[in-house]
Amino acid sequence: MDVFVYGLLLLTLSKCVVSKSPHIVFIVADDLGWNDVGFRNPDIISPNIDYLAKNGMILNNSYVQPVCTPSRNAFLSGFYPFKSGLQNFVIVPWAPSCAPLNRTFLPQTLKELGYATHMIGKWHLGMCKWECTPTYRGFDTFYGYYNGKEDYFNYTIFNHTDFRDNKEPTRPYEYSTYAYARRADKVITQHNKSQPMFLYLPFQSVHEPIEVPEIYENMYKNLKNEGRRKFSGMVTALDDAIGNVTDSLKRNGMFEDTLIIFTTDNGGSPKYFGNNYPLRGGKTTVYEGGTRASSFVYGSGLQKPNTVFDGMIHAVDWMPTIISAAGGAQVRGTDGLNMWPSISEGVPSSLRSEFIYNLDDSEFPIMGHAAIRIGDYKLIEGFAGVYNGWYPVPENETVTERDDPKVAYYQLYNVKEDPTEHNNLYTKEHSMLKKMKERLEEYKKYIVPPVSMKPDPASNPNNYNGYWTPGWC
C-alpha cells in the first residue's frame, strides 16, 4: 500500500476512535471553610490537597448552598433546593422525607454511560424508605452513613448507630476518615480497569463533633485554641486520606486517567472552629463565607493545569458538567449548566451569569430568606443567617464573643469589587436594586413547600436493633 494512502487510513481510523471516558472521583469535604486549606492558609497542613489544587485548576468562584442536604441534592440532581423542598434546612433522622424521587441522580446517568458507580461516606438526602437511599439512586455500592453527623469513632447519632455496607448494618472499628480511605482503596483495587469508574467520596470530615486522633492534633501545638487545634488536625487527617486515595489510583494504574473534583458542601462553621476569613459569615448563611466553596479540579481532560478559573460555577452545575466530562449528552431540564468546555479548555466563561443562593419563604428561613447573584452584584433580601460578621482564626484559648453587625433588610454588594461584603450599595444603586428584586420575584414563582420535618415515631432505631434504618415511611 502506498505510504501516503496508508497514512490517510490511519488518520481516518484515529478520528473514528471514541475517546476513553475518564475515571471520576468526586470528593466532598464537609463544613470546610474558605480559610481551612493550605493553598490559602499556610498554617494548615494539607500537602495533598495543595498539590492537586495548585497543579490542577482552582475554582475561585465556585458556589454551594449554606448547609449540607441542599448542596448534596444540587450536586446529584442539578436542581436548586427551593425547587426540591430542601431550602429550609437539613433532613433530620426522624423526618419522613428525602430528596425528590422523581429526579434522575448523577450516578443513574453515569451507569447508562457504562460507569461503575460507588459511594463512600455521608449521604444526608433522606432515608425513611429504601428507595431514598444510595443503592436505589444509582450507586452500585455504598459504604457510609445516612444522616448528617455522627461520632467519628463509634458511628452513633443520638445514641444509635448509623452505618451501612450497602444495605447491611455494620460498624467499622477505627476513625471514620481512616475507614473511608481504606474502603476507597478496596474499591479502586478491585475495579475492572477496562470500565470507567465514578467514585463519589463525601467525607464526614470536618463536620462536628470535633474529634481527631491525637497524632493530628499534636501537629498544631502552636495553636492555643483547643477547638481550632483539633479542627486543623481533622483537616490534615482528611488530607492524608485524600493522599491515600490518589496513591491507590497510582498503584492501580488509574491516576493518569482520572478526573478529581474537590469541593466543600458549605462554608465553615464559626461555632465549630471552621474559618472563612476574610469572607463574611459562615455555614447557615447566604453570605460568601457560607456559600463560596474551596474547590478545584485536577487530572484527566484539563488542557490548562496550574491555573485559576474565575468563572462562576454553582453546585447545580456539577451534574451536567460531570456527565459532559464522562462523554455524555447535554443535560436538559435542570437548573445546571455544563461548565466542562470552559473548565477543560481553561477559557474564561460567562455561561453562568446568575444563580440563587437560597429562596425560603417559610416562617423561619434558617439558612436565609432570599439571595440572588447577577453578574458582579449580589442582593440579599431579609434574614441572611445567624452568622453575619467576620470571624478571624481564634488565637486565644477561648473564642472571643461575637459582635455581629446590624443589617438592613436589603443588602446589595458588588462582590467582584467587595468580596468581603462590607459596602452595602442598596441606597446608591437604585436601578440595580430594582432589576435584582424583579428577577428574584420571577424565581419565587417556582418555590415548592419545604419537605416535612415532623418527627415520626416509626423512625425509632429501637425498632431496628439500635440502627437508624429505612422502611418506615
Q: Per the omega criterion (within 30 degrees of 0), is the bond before 96 cis?
A: no
The Cβ of residue 10 has, within 10 Å, a number of other Cβ atoms equal to: 10
Beta strands in 30-85 (DSSP E): 57-59, 62-63
The Cβ of residue 428 has, within 10 Å, a number of other Cβ atoms equal to: 10
Give all strands of the β-sheet with 164-165 in edge-to-edge order.
Answer: 168-169, 164-165, 141-145, 116-122, 197-202, 23-29, 258-264, 295-299, 57-59, 307-309
Return the CA Rg of the chain: 22
Do 234 and 172 contact (CB within 8 A), yes or no? no
Separation CA 352–CA 287 (nearest Å): 19
Do 394 and 273 contact (CB within 8 A), yes or no? yes
Would you name the residues annotated as active-site residues? 68, 124
Q: Which residue has the cell 481532560?
A: 301
In sequence order, what are the residues at sequence separation of 6 or more whose Cβ sits closer than 8 angstroms to the Cβ of residue 8? none
- The contacts found for 179-185 with CB under 8 angstroms, 24 or more apart, are 180/120, 180/121, 180/143, 180/144, 180/204, 180/241, 181/240, 181/241, 181/242, 181/244, 181/245, 183/120, 183/143, 184/120, 184/241, 184/244, 184/245, 184/248, 185/244, 185/245, 185/248
Measured in whole angstroms, the distance separating CA 317 from the mean position of its chain's CA atoms is: 12
Do 265 and 292 contact (CB within 8 A), yes or no? no
Measured in whole angstroms, the distance separating CA 54 from the mean position of its chain's CA atoms is: 19
Do 129 and 137 contact (CB within 8 A), yes or no? no
Separation CA 294–CA 63 (nearest Å): 9
Separation CA 303–CA 326 (nearest Å): 16
Angle 319-322-324 (CA atoms, 0-180°, nearest 5)? 105
Do 54 and 242 contact (CB within 8 A), yes or no? no
